[in-house]
Structure 1
Amino acid sequence: MLSEAQFPFLAEKGHVVSLVGGGGKTTLLYQLSTHCARKGWRVLAATTTHIRQPDHNMAHTEAECSALWAAGEYAVLGTPDGCGKLTAPPPDVLHRWMRQADAVFLEADGAKRMPCKAPASREPVLLPECDTVLAVAGLSALGRPLREVCFRLDEACALLHTAPDVPLTPELLAALLASEAGGRKLVGERAFYAVLNQADDPARRALGETTRTILWKRYHVQSVLTHFAKGERAE
């Protein structure tokens, strides 16, 4: 369950929120969209890069988008690639639909379903309209060698000045999320949150709280712990 105390932008119309990182980014995208749609808002979920194609809520035309909004549902916009993913829609279509929406949620990079990542040189793809960035990571990564859990391994090792076989600690994860070469890349003056997902049990929640403390005390980055049940996840 998402909380407007955790994510204050959910209480206000007009935000364009981009999600980066790994470890449940797509699930969070759709849960944020669901939260706002339940309030009667016109909500658009899309991508500026690529995203797994959902089996529901796809809108191929503005009429389909309007019908979903009228039914209290969020609309998903993207270009099917024929391989189960959506790529970025044409910019003119995306911007036209964005102007009609009360809230927009965009997946702005990819992680090959790994729990954390470092961005490549061309990532993330943040639109000028974006005012909020969420950097997501899965707590399942903690304690495991970086090479097993991190997409863009070479970039992550260079950023963290560490070797691929070093276990990921809360300190390293916080550094990855807070770095302007990592989760905070290109954020600039936008609002920024780190989202520590997969807080599925007491042990992970404890590690997540440790990571949250480091993020705030060392980097002054706000962060949120999240957990989604199996039926809520974008599989």
Structure 2
Amino acid sequence: MIGEQQFPFLAEKGHVVSLVGGGGKTTLLYAMASHCAQKGWRVLVSTTTHILRPENGLWAKTDAEIQELWARGSYAVVGSPAPKGKLTAPPEADLAHWMAQADAVFLEADGAKHFPCKAPAEQEPVLLPQSDIVLAVAGLSALGHPLKECCFRLEQACMLLGVSPEACLTPELLAQLLASEQGSRKRVGSRAFYAVLNQADTPQRQLLGKQTLCVLQERYRVNGVLTQFEEGERA
């Protein structure tokens, strides 16, 4: 479960929130969308890269379908069909039109191929000018494992961190990856930025997560939160 105590911006209409990183982005995206839709807001979900196509009837293809979903208290997912059951970014003009009607917008702006953490490639992430908040997500399951086992874009991550592929990911290295302007903070600029450490579902992961949050705050002045989702809540 997530709420406004963890994410105060969920109490305010008008935000365009972009999610980058790995380790539970899509689950968090839909959890935030559901939270805001339950308040009666018009919530739009989309992507600037790729996202799994929802199977619950929430994929809208027209203005009328979007309005119908909003009228019944659901969020609406928009995107163009892509291979392997995914959606890609809709036409720019269409997305801008739909975003202008929404009370809150949540965008998946990055891909991680199901790895719990990642470093961005040259073209990543894809942040729209309208986006005012960026959440960098990482899965705590990565900690204690060699980078080569847990990190997408391994070569970029090793260059950024100055370590070998065999190096184990520590709280310090994860914080550096999240806070770096060549890492998860790439292209963020003046936008509000938060780190989200997901998979905090065991006492050990919670402890390591708190250590990572301390490094993020004390060394990089980056605010972060711990999250966890039950099996049935995961996208």
Counterpart in the other structure of 1:190: 191
Question: Within 5 A, what are the aligned runs for 1:77-156?
Answer: 77-156=78-157
State the shift of 1:72 in Å.
0.4
Give the stretch that moved more between structures: 128-137 or 1-10: 1-10
CA distance in 2, matches of 1:232, 1:97: 27
The code of the aligned residue for 1:86 comes to L
The total of aligned residue pairs comes to 234
Counterpart in the other structure of 1:58: 59
The code of the aligned residue for 1:208 comes to G
CA distance in 1, matches of 2:44, 2:215: 33
State the shift of 1:225 in Å.
0.1
Asked if 1:45 is matched to 2:45, the reply is yes
Asked if 1:21 is matched to 2:21, the reply is yes
1:142-170, CA deviations, whole angstroms, 9 ceiling, x for partnerless residues? 00000000000000000000000011000
CA distance in 2, matches of 1:83, 1:196: 28
CA distance in 1, matches of 2:192, 2:84: 34
The code of the aligned residue for 1:226 comes to T
What SS class does the counterpart of residue 87 from structure 2 fall into? strand
What SS class does the counterpart of residue 228 from structure 1 fall into? coil
TM-score, scaled relative to structure 2: 0.99
Question: Within 5 A, what are the aligned runs for 1:3-22?
Answer: 3-22=3-22
TM-score, scaled relative to structure 1: 0.99
The code of the aligned residue for 1:5 comes to Q
Alpha carbon RMSD of aligned pairs, Å? 0.6
CA distance in 2, matches of 1:223, 1:12: 19
Counterpart in the other structure of 2:32: 32
Asked if 1:170 is matched to 2:171, the reply is yes
CA distance in 2, matches of 1:171, 1:191: 22
1:86-124, CA deviations, whole angstroms, 9 ceiling, x for partnerless residues? 111000110000000000000001000100000000000
What SS class does the counterpart of residue 104 from structure 1 fall into? strand
CA distance in 2, matches of 1:121, 1:7: 29
State the shift of 1:80 in Å.
1.2
What SS class does the counterpart of residue 106 from structure 1 fall into? strand
CA distance in 2, matches of 1:173, 1:154: 15
Counterpart in the other structure of 2:225: 224
Q: Which runs of 5+ in 1 are unaligned?
A: none
Q: Provide the identity percentage.
A: 68
The code of the aligned residue for 1:4 comes to E
State the shift of 1:82 in Å.
3.4
Counterpart in the other structure of 2:202: 201
1:48-105, CA deviations, whole angstroms, 9 ceiling, x for partnerless residues? 0111111021101111110000010000001111321111100011000000000000
CA distance in 2, matches of 1:149, 1:157: 12
**Runs (4+) of structure 1 moved beyond 2 Å?**
none
What SS class does the counterpart of residue 199 from structure 1 fall into? coil
The code of the aligned residue for 1:34 comes to S
1:123-143, CA deviations, whole angstroms, 9 ceiling, x for partnerless residues? 000000000000000000000
The code of the aligned residue for 1:13 comes to K
1:176-224, CA deviations, whole angstroms, 9 ceiling, x for partnerless residues? 0000000100101100000000001111000000000000000000000
Asked if 1:180 is matched to 2:173, the reply is no
